[in-house]
Amino acid sequence: MYTVRRFVVRHSRFFEWVYECFEPMLVFLDPVWSRFGYNRMERPVAFAERHIKGLLFDCQMCGQCVLSSTGMSCPMNCPKNLRNGPCGGVRENGHCEVKPAMKCVWVDAWEGASRMKGGDKISIVQPPVDRSLEGSSSWLRVARERAEEKRATRDAAREAMAEAFSEAREEEPAAAPLATEPPNAQPMQEAEESTSVLTVEKTPS
Ligand code: SF4
């Protein structure tokens, strides 16, 4: 709806904040999406996304959402589907040359981006639209990609830790035990750790 999408652009900072809260939730739900299967979740999530974003942004479900980089103005509403700025046909009043009643989505994008915290993302060059992703859910794609990135970072940290651990063991075996202590060794160790007074044996003078 044209009026709603113009309203969103005028309040782009607020919608940016909403998305900043929403994206971590999507990633947090990765175990749920994985449990049911991302492919199985595709239809219901895409259905919800189509209706919510359709109402707010006139979303065309390109499957590769760039709203955060385009001032919350969907570039797929440009009759030429331009993803990297306006064509040379913007009218003097800022309207589209193909649809004179509509303001150019890139004029809106520029205004929306100027209100956003991450507004400078508008200068990022977007890749061409991959038409094979049309109709698919951007939300699920973001959830899967971010969750994979997090897993990769965590695995790399674990590998680094395992490496450091084996190096530490070579340097000082007692400081880096390979296995957990046997149960009968633990109470003794705890007792030793809890003792804070040093006893000094007196030597006979
Ligand atoms: S960029 Fe794509 S996914 Fe995002 S609102 Fe526009 S059509 Fe929808």
In this predicted model, what pLDDT tens digit does every residue of 27-76 receive, in sequence order?
A: 999 999 999 999 999 999 999 999 999 999 999 999 999 999 999 999 99
Return the pLDDT at 197.
47
Does residue 84 surpass a pLDDT of 80?
yes
Mutate to test the pocket of ligand 1, among 22, 66, 132 (most ligand atoms within 8 A of CB): 66
Task: For ligand 1, say whether the CB of 109 is within 6 Å of any of its atoms.
Answer: no
Q: Report the nearest-CA residue for atom 3 of ligand 1.
A: 65
Picking from 73, 29, 75, the residue whose alpha carbon sits closest to that of residue 48 is 29
pLDDT band at 171 (very low <50, low <70, confident <90, very high): confident
Exposed/middle/buried for residue 90 (C-beta within 10 Å: 0-12, 13-18, 19+) = middle
In this structure, are residues 63 and 141 in contact, taking their beta carbons and an 8 Å threshold?
A: yes
Q: Report the nearest-CA residue for atom 1 of ligand 1.
A: 65
Return the pLDDT at 1.
84
Number of CB atoms found within 10 A of residue 164's CB: 11
Residue with tokens 């989505």, as numbered in its chain:
105
Mutate to test the pocket of ligand 1, among 23, 51, 58, 62 (most ligand atoms within 8 A of CB): 62
107-119 pLDDT per residue, tens? 999 999 999 999 9
Residues in the chain: 205
Return the pLDDT at 186.
59
Least confident of 31-35, 87-91, 164-168, 197-201: 197-201
Amino acid at the residue 30: D
Task: For ligand 1, say whether the CB of 53 is within 6 Å of any of its atoms.
Answer: yes
In this structure, are residues 12 and 112 in contact, taking their beta carbons and an 8 Å threshold?
A: yes
Q: Which residues lie closer than 8 Å to 18 by C-beta, 6 or more apart?
A: none
116-157 pLDDT per residue, tens? 999 999 999 999 999 999 999 999 999 999 999 998 998 888
